[in-house]
Structure 1
Amino acid sequence: MPALPRLTPSLQLTLILAITLLLLGVLPSWSEPLLEFNRAAIDDGQWWRLLTGQWVHYGAYHLAMNLGAFVLCGYILFRDASLKHYATLLLLCLLGVGLGLFFFSPELDYYAGLSGALHGLLVGGILLTFREMPWMNGAALLVVAAKIVQEQWPGFDTSHPLLPVPVAVDAHLYGALVGLVWGVAFVVLGAWRSRHV
């Protein structure tokens, strides 16, 4: 019988946040109006929505998709990562997506979901673990890049048959850019430190 995975601090954070996502998803009539990204409410000073909007979801399918991706990403890419690095990247992704949508996507009045931050975690995690599996991670990075380019292509259909709202593809772009900057900085700083030890 295979052994259960070791419950590292980063994996503990993933599980705590996954439970939080689930609890917020059970009470959408309360959590969604209070926490979603709402441009008018943010303009009125409810700045927390820049972050909290990413923890609520539009329906069970939306929640299940992002919850599953979050747990897999946390387990596969960040289980053995430093809690400080993982938490920092996650916070930067959340901030980058929230601020990116607010300042650079003025046509978007409402947003909910973790997919933007997930794109950042994915890109950052791929770069974090690049040395372990360079060919696989390189291919994964190309797939993510192709997906982002396709979503930004003029005329891309943002509708999804199982979502009640269009996919906010700009959130994916902003998250991926934050993950890329964080990942490149992590790799460059790691290389610099190894040369100066």
Structure 2
Amino acid sequence: MMLLVLQLLAPESTMSLRYDRAAILDGEAWRLLTGQLVHLGWTHCLLNVGGWIVGALLFPKLFARRRFWLEVGAMAIGVGLGLLLLDPKLAHYVGLSGVIYGVLVRGSLPSAGRDWRMTTLLLLIVGRLASQVWVGPGASEEEMIGGAIIVSAHVYGAMMGALLSLGPRVLR
């Protein structure tokens, strides 16, 4: 998987691909996307790989669709643009967690209300996000991954997943 290869190449891959606000404003727009592909360290990377695997196991039909990979790209760019436009004090960001939140919302939202499991999953996601926004991330979580958890990235990812689920047919 690309995330693992990029982690093997760290720290060079991280420095050249991370979301870097100043570099993006200087024309390195690819960092809006590639910042999602690099991580703070191995623990952070493996946690995100685990989240990706959970998503693939929960939503195999979604992952099998060709259009899904375009949606993942849209989620990643949406997270990057959200950080750029709405978090002007954030200088750097790495990690796939925002996109993972988007995938989980994208997969669960269409069936929520009809399938109790998807309703429960969606409520757990929303509850987790609400806790992160109002209480903040746990210090032990941040210590485990080796840096700050950027909650807004999770929120932007979830919003992109909802938009792709509920938006006009052209988005689906």
Structure 1 and Structure 2 fold alike (TM over 0.5) = yes
Contact 1:89 1:124 in 2 (8 A): no
**Which contiguous aligned blocks of 4+ residues in structure 1 show a shift greater than 4 angstroms?**
none
1:152 counterpart = 2:133: yes
AA aligned to 1:152 is V
Contact 1:116 1:172 in 2 (8 A): yes
Structure 2 match to 1:15: none
Instruction: Supply the RMSD in Å over aligned alpha carbons.
Output: 1.9
Structure 2 match to 1:69: 51
Distance 1:39 1:25 in 2: 21
Distance 2:115 2:13 in 1: 41
TM-score by length of 2: 0.89
Distance 2:25 2:31 in 1: 10
- The structural deviation recorded for 1:133 is 6.5
AA aligned to 2:129 is I
Any gaps of 5 or more consecutive residues in structure 2?
Answer: none
- The structural deviation recorded for 1:84 is 3.1
AA aligned to 2:86 is F
Deviation digits for residues 26-62 of structure 1 (CA, Å, limit 9, x no counterpart): 1112201100001111111111000000000000100
TM-score by length of 1: 0.78
- The structural deviation recorded for 1:87 is 1.4
Any gaps of 5 or more consecutive residues in structure 1?
Answer: 1-18, 190-197
Structure 1 match to 2:95: 113
| Matched residue SS, 2:38 | coil
- The structural deviation recorded for 1:163 is 2.1
Contact 2:44 2:146 in 1 (8 A): no
Indicate which of 64, 74, 83 corresponds to 1:92.
Answer: 74
- State the number of aligned residues: 166
Contact 1:124 1:180 in 2 (8 A): yes
- The structural deviation recorded for 1:158 is 5.6
Larger radius of gyration: 1
Indicate which of 116, 131, 135 corresponds to 1:135.
Answer: 116
Distance 1:173 1:133 in 2: 24
